[in-house]
Structure 1
Amino acid sequence: MKTLIAMIMSSLLSGLAHAEQISCRVVAISDGDSFDCATTASTQIRVRMAEIDAPERKQPYGQQAKQALTKLIYDKSVMLHVHSIDRFGRTLARVFIGTLDVNSSMVQQGAAWAYTEQLKDQNLRDTETFARNMDKGLWAQPAEDIVAPWKWRYAGRINEHAKKQTRPQTSFSQF
């Protein structure tokens, strides 16, 4: 089974190597850094915006980040500059509408972080610093609400693990 998955992923990646740019229309927004778009061939693509990380839906500022992305790209034609496919099968890409770099715009508005684990464009780090200094978007929130999404996801996994570990033990000693 692992071999089959590897072959499928390899096939997808080799196809993307030839198609470094994909034009599509945005048909759904999942959150502040993920969306679905449809190509002219009616193929639907799940996209994760490369080099940025926006707050999760249930995280403080998550809904505002989703709204910011919706305002920028929903029902519009975009150009995907494909980086790769992630472990969930999503297309990792920089997103453009004409000359507008949507990934950078999300960071500039304070709706996303520069995602240091994926960062190739160091200008995104400078853009984030500017947004922080100007208290844009999420940076205007109370300090306790400003948690990087990767830390927030990690804390959620730790809390879920702790819940599983603290289930009451059934005692059969009374029988």
Structure 2
Amino acid sequence: MSPLLKTIFFSLFAVLAGIILSGSIYLWTDTNGIQHFSNISPPENGPAEQLSEEKFILPRGHQFTIVKIFDGDTIQVKGFGLKFTIRLVGIDTPEFGKRGQKNQPYSLQAKQKLTHLLQKKTISLKQYGMGKYNRVLAEIFVHETNINLEMVRSGLAEVYRGKRSKKFDAAPYFQAEKRAKQSRKGMWIQGADYTSPWQWRKKFH
């Protein structure tokens, strides 16, 4: 792509400003001659041009389709020529074991719940910046339903105990967590045996 076309391309996205993705953006052409823009390098590390733009802007309200659900709070999506990973902001779900370690109780149920909420759905995003591992931090919505909040209401996610964005309103999340605990929904049925994912990671990861 010529420098002029790249300038036009990025100017167009700037006009449609909404959600900002930071990090490297790659440009490549697949075997069918279709050009792709993504913050994920091409399959099998094929030839690609790495664009030097520090910020890439998505149009407000754009719908994305689900590519993969990793666990109860992390997914991969695609849309508008991009493929990227989202960490559901403000929540934390039980952890899957890594490197042969055991799964935290209710980790599978949390993933199954998120899968059920998102199955055959498209989502929109409300972004809160970038987190670790080049993941977009976002609340995700199916129509008007806040999926992050639904995970807490189901008793399969707690409010994230680490540092949260100042723009993120955690109040409804804490209310939902309190109700789920009182009702002993999902993972809260464990009572005193419950371990926060935050503590679990420190112990096993």
Provide the TM-score with structure 2 as the length reference: 0.66
Pair 1:39 & 2:87 matched = no
Q: Select which of 67, 71, 83 maps to 2:112.
A: 67
Q: Whose strand proportion is higher, 1 or 2?
A: 2
Tell me if the contact between 2:161 and 2:198 (Cα under 8 Å) persists in the aligned partners: no
Alignment match, 1:15: 56
Alignment match, 1:49: 88
Shift of 1:87: 2.1
Shift of 1:19: 4.6
Any unmatched runs of 5+ in structure 2? 1-21, 26-51, 97-102
CA distance in structure 2 between the aligned counterparts of 1:139 and 1:48, rounded to whole angstroms: 22
Considering only aligned residues, what root-mean-square deviation do their CA atoms show, in Å?
2.2
Shift of 1:11: 4.5
Shift of 1:83: 0.8
* Identity across matched positions, percent: 30
Tell me if the contact between 1:22 and 1:81 (Cα under 8 Å) persists in the aligned partners: no
Q: Select which of 137, 144, 159 maps to 1:99.
A: 144
The one of the two structures with greater contact order (alpha-carbon pairs below 8 A, sep at least 6) is 1
Give the secondary structure class of the aligned counterpart of 1:78: strand
Shift of 1:74: 3.0
Provide the TM-score with structure 1 as the length reference: 0.76
Shift of 1:8: 4.3
Amino acid corresponding to residue 130 of structure 1 in structure 2: R
Amino acid corresponding to residue 35 of structure 1 in structure 2: I
Pair 1:147 & 2:195 matched = yes
Shift of 1:40: 3.8
CA distance in structure 1 between the aligned counterparts of 2:91 and 2:129, rounded to whole angstroms: 14
Q: How many pairs does the alignment contain?
A: 148
Alignment match, 1:28: 68
Give the secondary structure class of the aligned counterpart of 1:69: helix
